[in-house]
Amino acid sequence: MNTEWKLARRKVALETRAALIQAIREFFISRNYLEVETPQRIPAPAPEAHIDAFPSGQWFLHTSPEICMKRMLAAGYPRIFQVCRCFRKHERGDRHLPEFTMLEWYRAGIDYRGLMEECEELFLFLVGKMRVGTSLEYQGEKIDLEKPWGRISVTEAFHRFAAIPMIASLEQGLFDETLVRDIEPRLGRGKPTFLYDYPASLGALARTKRDDRGLAERFEIYLSGLEIANGFSELTDPDEQQRRFEEENRRRRSAGKVACPLPERFLDSLRHLPESAGIALGVDRIAMIFCDAPSVDGVVAFTPEEL
Amino acid sequence: MYTASDLRKGLRIMLDDDPYIVVDFQFVKPGKGQSLYRCKLRNLLVGTMMDRTFREVDTFKPAETQEKTMQFLYKEGDHYNFMDTESYEQIHLMEEQIGDAKNFLIENMEVRILLFRERPIDITLPNFVDLVVMEAPPWIKGDTVSGNYKPVILETGYKVAVPPFIEQGEKIRIDTRSGEYLTRVKE
């Protein structure tokens, strides 16, 4: 009874969520993107140190459609998007569900800076469609979505908000803790923020900067302290990608996790990957923002606990 | 032994040789980063709060405690008095040890009292308790399926959101773990 009542109370949020997904499709279709569907069950996930896939028979449920979508990009599909369910083991909290909805899109001929601009345009399109003006109110905070959004590099953000510099935090193994405690809550206040140029070791599939090999051309978007997307310029060098995957596997093993087999066909396809950028955006998170919901539980029909 | 992924609100663990209870818990994971478990913990002996962030690899011993069934007798100042239903021995807990449980405690209710080396330190309520609605705004007819809700006040003084058809004097069931309305109880 309680569960059904909770479900009834979510009606407005679920209607908003549906309208958002509809608007997302309209945005990409109007920009000549092809909507694609790639398998959710795959032989092996991309090796990443801190992302764990659920086994499904001898295969796995994908943790993101990245590998398959990049093979499409390499095969001559220059603008593609997908809205799909993704699965990640052990992820459950106010902002996490082990099964969640991801929007990913990839575009040839741009880098991460071009992609940042497209993100700004996507959000302005969405607020237009949802008829909420050019600003949103989330948990009592007004967020202005007019371009340009804030841009701050990871190095600068550590300098401004944290007690230790970025490099030192990496060396001491405190990068994640510092980011979560001191930096994230300060980002996206009043206006969305792009946090960009991550340490290369934290962007396993991202291209490094031409003038600084220690940094990856990767960014995250924050709204009101909430991280909603991760995008980057795509790494197109198969040898470099293989080395990065091997490094991720080494970190998995040292944390007592199983290594993932290397996705050979994906690595082969990188030879043909054009200069491009791609991004994963949490649909549940943007639904939280548009629904003014403090927790992801408020914007899905069922949480795992309610099944 | 618990691991970090077992952490949740209400879990009791040993830290630096003292028993603690997790009073607030947040799972966080920066994009591509590791899972972090941010906890607010209360020391069950002295009542002090502390913040700690744990990682996936951290492990914890369960707090070495025993539990006894006791009956709630009455409240006197900030003392809550209970009686052991087997030995008839009486003990008390202080208001800050009772915490949110005070919202659901009524006289004669049977609860579980937690003891650490013979000292009463915490209380566990039954998962479900039935309480009388003392004050409720009137039901606007026709408002049955919209998912709307209204605030009511229960006999313990606790405020809770309920569906619009609940009226004053009715008994409702509360889930004490979430503090949320569950169902109407028909006598």
Of A9, A96, A230, the CB nearest to B27: A96
Mean pLDDT (whole number) for B88-115: 92
Of all helices (H) and strands (E), which one includes residue A194? strand A193-199
My answer on whether omega of the bond before A148 falls inside 30° of 0, hence cis, is yes
Residues whose CB is less than 8 angstroms from the CB of residue A252 and which lie 6 or more positions away in sequence, other chains included:
A47, A49, A258, A259, A260
Please give the Cα distance from B156 to B177 (Å, whole number): 16
Note the pTM of the prediction, 2 decimals: 0.83
Residues of B within 8 A of A5 (CB-CB) are: 147, 163, 181
Q: Which residues face B39 on adjacent strands?
A: B25, B52
Residues whose CB is less than 8 angstroms from the CB of residue A193 and which lie 6 or more positions away in sequence, other chains included:
A149, A150, A151, A152, A187, A221, A222, A223
B40 and chain A in contact, CB less than 8 A:
no
Contact at 8 Å (CB) between A188 and A226?
yes
Please give the Cα distance from B83 to A8 (Å, whole number): 42
Mean pLDDT (whole number) for B56-73: 92
- State the number of CA atoms in the 13 A half-sphere of B144 facing the CB: 2
| B122 band by pLDDT with thresholds 50, 70 and 90 | confident
Distance in Å from the first CA to the final CA of chain B: 44
ipTM of the complex: 0.85
Please give the Cα distance from A236 to A216 (Å, whole number): 13
**Predicted pLDDT of residue A144:** 96
pLDDT in tens, A82-123: 999 999 998 999 999 999 999 999 999 999 999 999 999 999
Residues of A within 8 A of B26 (CB-CB) are: 93-94
Which 3 state secondary structure label does DSSP give A191?
coil
B143 pLDDT more than 70: no
Tell me the backbone φ, ψ of residue B118, rounded to 5 degrees. 75, -5
Contact at 8 Å (CB) between B165 and B137?
no
| A212 band by pLDDT with thresholds 50, 70 and 90 | very high
B33 and chain A in contact, CB less than 8 A:
yes
B35 and chain A in contact, CB less than 8 A:
yes
B23 pLDDT more than 60: yes
A180 and chain B in contact, CB less than 8 A:
yes
pLDDT in tens, A137-171: 999 999 999 999 999 999 999 999 999 999 999 99
Q: Where are the alpha helices (DSSP H) in B32-185?
A: 95-98
**Predicted pLDDT of residue B142:** 63
B147 and chain A in contact, CB less than 8 A:
yes
**Predicted pLDDT of residue A4:** 77
